[in-house]
Amino acid sequence: MSTRSLEVVAHRGASAERAEHTRGAYELALEQGADGLECDVRVTLDGHLVCVHDRRIDRTSDGRGVVSRRTAESMAALDFTGWFRSSAGLAPPTGPEGVLRLEELLGLVRDHGRAVRLFIETKHPVRYRGLVERELARLLRRYGLAAPPVRDESAVLMMSFSAAAVRRFRAEAPGVPTVLLFEQARGALRRGVLPPWADLAGPGIRVVRRDPGLVPRIAAHGRDTYCWTVDDPRDVALCRDAGVRFVATDAPATTRSHLSGS
């Protein structure tokens, strides 16, 4: 991928203003003009991909338990918004929402009038080794998204902190761009060299703060950078000046405002 101007990716939706990974959070992010949406996915007991960050649903719903030991149907009956409204002291803009299936989010992106990228992170370690990547590739094939005509214009990118997961997905859907996420740059990564099965580098903002020169070193090898999670205006400016391609942010409207006003 070639280096381009900075694009804003809504981290778990507009999660500073709506409960993360809910349809409402993603709809708000689209209204705010986000260039992309980010989500985490896990596999349920009955084989569905759902948008949940944690291994357990205790933090983000009124239910309890491990995602992989619950069915999608049982989690659809829970409320994944109340915890956020309560902690933020907000009245609900909509009613309670159950768990969001990845299929529903894909439909939301597909039906949106503007081209928006979806960054999908598979979570690890998980109970079903490799199943999440296989199911993701299967779902993308069903939606006609597994073989984009132009790789750089793919509507979907797959991400993981697990090198094994990224390699597995590359074998399943070689046409879909991949992002290797990391919290520390060591060895070849520190020199800006990515493995052949990763298209983009995915450092956390702390990595870029410590070594802003990492981004141009990555660009010198023909790769772009996706940086997470960038909310502070100083970090937004740092990423822009370093040449980051995509920033994941909890507050897409605010981040876009920082960029347009700078």
Cite the active site residues.
Answer: 11, 53
Contact predicate 243/3, CB 8 Å: yes
Question: Beta-carbon neighbour count of residue 138 at 10 Å?
Answer: 14
Please give the C-alpha separations between residue 50 and each of 35, 106, 206, 245, in angstroms, as whole numbers. 22, 11, 28, 27
Contact predicate 136/169, CB 8 Å: yes
Calculated CA dihedral for residues 246, 252, 256, 259, nearest 10 degrees: -50
Angle, CA 10 vertex, CA 215 and CA 33 arms, to 5°: 105
**Position of tokens 């070193």?**
217
Contact predicate 51/136, CB 8 Å: no
How many whole angstroms separate alpha carbon 140 and alpha carbon 208?
31
Choose among 213, 211, 185: nearest CA to 201: 185
Buried b (16+ CB within 10 A) or exposed e, 147-176: ebeeeeebbbbbbbbbeebbbbbbebbeeb
**Position of tokens 């094939």?**
141
